[in-house]
Amino acid sequence: MFKRIATALWGHFESGEELKKFLWLATIFGFIIGTYWVMRPMKDGVFSAIVGVNWLPWAKVLSLIVVVPLVVVYSKLIDTFSRQKVFYVLMAIYSLLALLFVYLLLNPSFGLPNTVESPSRILGWLWYVYIESFGSLVVALFWAFTTDTTLPDSAKRGFPIIALFGQIGNMVGPFFLNAKRLGFATSAPVLGICSGLMVFTGFLFWLMMRVVPKAQFASYDAPSESKADEGETGFFEGLKLLLTQRYLLGIFMIVSIYEIIVTILDFHFKVTAKSMFTGEAAMSSYLAHYATWVGVVSMTCVLLGINNIQRKLGVKVSLVLLPILIGVAVLTIKLNPTGLTVAFWIMVFAKAVNYALNQPTLKQLYIPTTKETKYKSQAWIEMFGSRGAKATGSLGVNTWRAVFTEKYGALVGVNAFLTLTTLLSGGFILIWLFAAMYISNVYNKAIEKNEVVC
């Protein structure tokens, strides 16, 4: 039954074993994303309650600084252990840290019971970096493993299933697991549940490696790959590849520009929401409601066959569509500067289309690359590039919002700030479109000739 539905939506699967592989991967990804999106609304809610919402731009800068040593550790783990063991290690570490944060957040002196907001409260900063790093490291490792063990044609059929289950997790997780729905005074106990989910996700990965035939984990193999794999390895190899390969720089631009623009829109949304909700539980629950709707819209897009755009019209159309939609979103926010509902739905659709269409397409771009690129350059792009873009949008742009509002007043200042960001976003979107067209041409040529790009 499910195979017939999957075939109708995403194409004919070569075998039941191929479908089984993607169902396992999709289930694991659903738990990863579900856990992450339970914690993500808590990330901003807890930080705002402990440190203050106006310090969010600086939290993103700190996240960028911490990424560098994290990439060093991640690269060392990839060099030392099998990819499965690295996954188990990461899930164990994050599960234990989650339990530690439960204890700290419940502490009456420096936890959530203390309602005095201050940038000197270190716990809030550590909390923010913890959630950001989970979203970067664990998700990046999952996709590196998946792209390394999937062939291009198989990816067209299977990646939409993974995206669908991810959005189910995105929808179900924050809907059921938030402080308000569970009757908790704060979000700290919810984090304890997340710790258990992380352990269970690691167990699912372990089961998958034992029930799915090894033949289903075949890598994309082109004649030039053995040559491309030779040479320097280690932490800086990923960075070296990124800086010397235009293909990877193009992917870096797409990821970074999206994050810069959406970070600006997201900060506007969070500041507007914070002015209307008091208390950590109320703010976190509202953001959980937002997260649920991101999952609902994204899942609906996948079920309606949005990935057929990529399967039937190609990678280029898929990559070009999102910058056009983001441009419309920026203009809509500019025309409605004070509307929380407008900002809410703009962010829902900006995130949903990215998760449902853009992200699966971006992951496919790594298929015609070497293992070094998949595991190390991809980590640089998705961790350092994403965090760097958020820091750029936060420190380089969002901090000016306070300057404008102090000088011109709340309404006029916000309008002036949004005018500036609209102009900046327009320039970034033009670069984004150029990068999308370039890398899609390179990808199509590599697949057609059965070559490795880099």
pLDDT band with cut points at 50, 70 and 90 for residue 54: confident
Q: What are phi and psi of 434, to 5 degrees?
A: -60, -45
The pLDDT tens digits of the residues spanning 402-441 come to 667 777 776 777 777 788 888 888 999 999 999 999 988 8
pLDDT at 35 over 80: yes
Q: What number is the average pLDDT over the span 294-308?
A: 76
Rounded distance between C-alpha atoms, residue 77 and residue 79, angstroms:
5
The pLDDT tens digits of the residues spanning 11-20 come to 566 567 888 8
Closest CA to 394 of 17, 58, 28, 27: 58
Number of independent structural domains in the chain: 1
Q: What number is the average pLDDT over the span 207-213?
A: 89
DSSP assignment, residue 53?
A: G
pLDDT at 7 over 60: no
- The answer to whether residue 118 sits within a structural domain is yes
| pLDDT at residue 397 in the model | 65
pLDDT at 28 over 90: yes
| pLDDT at residue 229 in the model | 45
Q: What are phi and psi of 54, to 5 degrees?
A: -70, -10
Q: Of 137 and 30, which is predicted with more confidence?
A: 30
pLDDT at 163 over 50: yes
- The answer to whether residue 5 sits within a structural domain is no
Contacts of 301 (CB under 8 A, 6+ apart): 352, 353, 356, 357
- The answer to whether residue 292 sits within a structural domain is yes
**Residue 207 near residue 82 (C-beta atoms within 8 A):** no
- The answer to whether residue 42 sits within a structural domain is yes
**Residue 284 near residue 380 (C-beta atoms within 8 A):** no
Q: What number is the average pLDDT over the span 130-138?
A: 87
- The answer to whether residue 6 sits within a structural domain is no
pLDDT at 96 over 90: yes
- The answer to whether residue 266 sits within a structural domain is yes
**Residue 48 near residue 280 (C-beta atoms within 8 A):** yes
Please measure the distance between the N-terminal and C-terminal CA atoms of the chain and give it in whole angstroms: 40
Residue 239: domain span: 11-213+235-449
**Residue 243 near residue 373 (C-beta atoms within 8 A):** no
- pTM of the entire structure? 0.72
Lowest average pLDDT, out of 251-255, 345-349, 398-402, 409-413, goes to: 398-402
Rounded distance between C-alpha atoms, residue 424 and residue 419, angstroms:
9
- The answer to whether residue 226 sits within a structural domain is no
pLDDT at 1 over 60: no
Q: Of 165 and 140, which is predicted with more confidence?
A: 165
pLDDT at 309 over 60: yes
- The answer to whether residue 221 sits within a structural domain is no
Domain of 375, CATH number, reads 1.20.1250.20
